[in-house]
Structure 1
Amino acid sequence: MNGTATMPSYFPCIKSSESHPLADWLYLKSVITSSPELRMMTETYRKRLAISKQFADQYKPEMPAITVSALMNGYGRQLADFLKPTYMLQLDFDHVKKEDMEQLIQLVRGDSHTMVEYITVSGRGFRVFCAYRPVDDDDISVLELFDAVLQKAMAYYTQLLGIAPDKQCVDITRCAGLAYDPDAYFRWDAEPFALGPKDLNPLYTKKALQAKYSARRNAKGGKRSSKVKEEAKSSDKGAPTIEEAASHIKELLDLWGYRFEPEHHNEYVWHFADICIYYGIPQEEVLTYTDREFGTSYEDTASVIKSRYKHLNKFGIWHFYRHGEGRSAKPSVRGIKQWLLTHYLFRRNVLTGFYEVESRFVLDGKYPDWVRIDDNIENSIWSEMDESGLHLSEKTLHNIINSDFSEPFDPLDDYLRSLPKWKKGEDPDYIDQLA
């Protein structure tokens, strides 16, 4: 392995949101093969598993893990916390038949692509780490490359072993739980997966079709005749059903960096409910859908939905654009606000008096951190809107941003609320530190 390569993030326990870069791969090897703490935890999990899987899974969040494919910012495991790709991927093979385990592991270890292989914490499967090569093409995003390589690797090992890897391990930020395995396999000069023209052509085709559809949609939004506008108006069905909107809401949350995964279930359901409220979807519909979709993994789903639906001041403020429906060339103020809130967050700093913006799209957003809005930024946002088919004056955009649309933000209050409960005589004087 390249000594200067980006390393994965190491989480002391799966439930933790805090992490640090893995020191090096040799350290990982020593943890998996030699750590007495990991050995004890692995044995504890398997003893619990002999009683029940539910009992064992209650213990799993205490175990260490790494985000094989990603270096995180140290404060979370969401896509919003993603910093860099490691150009590594993981494949999990669960519930392997006991009589097949040894033969399958030998096949894995005999393949030139396998860099790491170890028995998972259950003792009933194994995990594989592989490397992959970056591509010299700025038009292919980090996520697009990862997804394409992952599909190739999954197909490759499925053909090699005759069994398919777990299809849940498809997120670039997914954690790989560590487990004690004194006989784990490591090969630092493993051959990385690489994408050739045959692999990239479907991706280029998909991107071209998306661009073509987007261009058509924007053109319809900017150049529709009055007759077409009237037809669109007459066919307006109002608020969508949850079944209509669910896939779009999930795609939007993914762009914003939210994933329905352990330790983030509450956050995900919270934001899912908020978007449903914006679209004006009735609470009962949302409760039925989310109970079916998320309730099994997160028992507080219904209570979170009901809590959010107590605040209906923004109910129905967004319009749901159905397939083939373009935007008006002269959007309403409500339509402008919807576009802005889909792409950005705005606030007014009450201490400085400045208006600030942060991109909601975590991978290709222009402003990943809060930044003061100046003329350059405001003009850039206006240009972006105009190019997407929303034609408005710069003054209109300025007036919307510089209104109560941008919610007040008090940095001092935010700082004080972020402090842990203070214990007199034990903790530092945070007020003195701030001064």
Structure 2
Amino acid sequence: MVVSIFKNFNEVVENAKIIEVLNDIKTGKYINIITYLRKSLAESKMEAYERAKKSLPAFTPSASFKGGRKLEFVTAYTQIVVLDIDKLTKEQLTNAKALAQETPYTYSAFISPSGNGLKIFVKVNSSQKNHKEAFLTLQKFYEEFLSLPIDKSGKDVTRLCFVSYDTDLYLNENATVYPVIATEDLTPYIVQNSEVITEPPTIASNGFSTENFSNDYLATYEHCVRFTEKKESYVNGNRNNFVHLLACNLNRKGVPLPTAMGYILSDYNFDTKEVATTVNSAYSNTHEHNKSNLSISPNGEISKQSKSNKSSEEDTDEEEEKPSFIDRLETFLNYRYSFRYNVVSGKLEYKPAKATLWKPLTDFVENSILREILKAKVKCNINTLRNLLRSDFCEQFDPFKDYFDNLPDNEDDTDYITELANTITTTKQDLWIECFKKWFVAMVACVTNDKAINQTVIVFSGKQGVGKTTWIEKLIPKPLKDYMFSGTINPNNKDTLIHLAECMLINLDELENLNRTEIGTLKELITKTHIRMRKAYGHNNETLPRRASFAGSVNTAQFLNDTTGSRRFLCFEVEHIEYTHSIDINLAYAQAKQLYKDGFRYWFNQEEIKEINHNNEQYQARSPEEELLLTWFEIADRETANNFINTTQIATKLAEKTKMNITDGTVMKLGKALKKHGYLRLSKKNGYVYAVKELSWEEVDNKNKEKEPPPEPPKPPEQTGLPF
């Protein structure tokens, strides 16, 4: 049995054995485009779904053709009837497919391209002239057998069937041929069309004799049905309108009332009395009978009439609209490639049809694809190709969402995050474990939720060569290695600023070299929720979510030089790092994902912030003004204070002792230091003063000496026993 494969609905591409076509459906030849089509339908992207469906190859299971898809182009009838069942639930689809396999008449059954329908092929013993009768007989049989309605579209010999993808496609090459006509009546059909066969009248399911409607008008009726379906839908609440319009179209074509009544009651008998009334109403317009400007002969040929009176409703060509050049281009690309738009990197990725590895779409690849397109004589240029690829033709892909959605469930009670934290030994281990867990969960929140941000930075302090940078880099799982950046972020340089949206982790390897202004800028970036910018070669500004978390390492002990505060920095002095650990980072992220879903508090409260600030004191680089203040003025209360002076007076006294220049900046720094260290502030008539204990030169000298550790006395030599 040979069938024809079509493109653009009417252009024969090739003739192939139906076994080969079914094998392609089963083995996944069309898996890429079918997967895209079903995904578009599941996401209610109907425009993309319809466009993808139009680009599918299609074949005619009931016949092979040459030169077109009309009855006059039929070269051979396959004696196969197609039954189509649409809009099924998963349970209905599974049950229907299983039931269809139980009857010996089912030649093949597979899931439709949409994923919610079933195609059933049945072999019959009748000829092409009896195709409609064969379909109606099988429709009734399978509707009763499956308890499901079957689409009436299969009654056309020219009916297309789109290819699909179904690894469980059912095929029974030894299926029983359904006896549409009795065996003794088969002789006249051995040589088809050799003589006119007078068929005995049969009884339709509605009780009307089929001799009331001649097959001479079958092509006309089928054309009117297709034309009517473009205008109205035969659904609950609209069936009457559909039948009335169909009857009006048959009336204008000159189909006799008894014939039209028989056809319509055979296909659309939802209520015999109501249908008959509706058809009679349409045929009451006797002045429109046979006034259509199109004439359809019994063999399906359409010709113009020379009548001056035209129908009030113009007919359109019965064939499907030919796809536009953009549809042909999409079809070409879908056969050969899969494309996706990476929403994080903002770049296109592709893979050949049978490949598994996605690659970035470079200029070289674009030009190579364009070369293929032009060699296939598909109308296209480089701008058209680029505009198509940068549209909803490509599905969107979020690598972070893809990674975290595919993580295993955190089913055991193992605390992988704590185990990971314990691979580093710090001087304050308990605080480190607590801070790291919050920071780690915040990092997961930052890449999975556009409204969540990680407002802290992990900073390691320690000597070189212990593995600080290596340990930080191992925090990124292998599928996301491309989403890490090492370096500094310049807010005035959009090439580095874009890393805030494109990276999961930024390793600040030059943190200790930042000055006070740059530290302040970094703190601003850490709290930024979105980045508004125009990407390179882009035409419009975009608001991008901030996804990046920060970590860094320094070799010096004191690197925090911002006097306004340092709670954003989680600083820890490293004693040892086990950077070759074997902890599965994927399990740690699975735990973090579960903690985030369970509402884990990954931000710090006021008490925790105080503890962080206290811990950061050892990493804070003090200004000369702050150092001199703590040297010459001790904190005191009302009773122990020996002086009550304001900030400027303190600056004057320090200038007298150290010859320091007094500026507005000096006074401001002293004010911040007084507030930072909690000096008692009192309100007076002329402003505010501070209660301080001013020290003398001798007291300062003694205090400095007290802080120096006393030298250890020399150890006496060990006494050894005399040899005698």
Please report the TM-score for the alignment, with normalisation by the length of structure 2. Answer: 0.29
Please report the TM-score for the alignment, with normalisation by the length of structure 1. Answer: 0.48
In our comparison, the structure showing a higher alpha carbon Rg is 2
Q: Larger RCO: Structure 1 or Structure 2 (Cα < 8 Å, ≥ 6 residues apart)?
A: 1
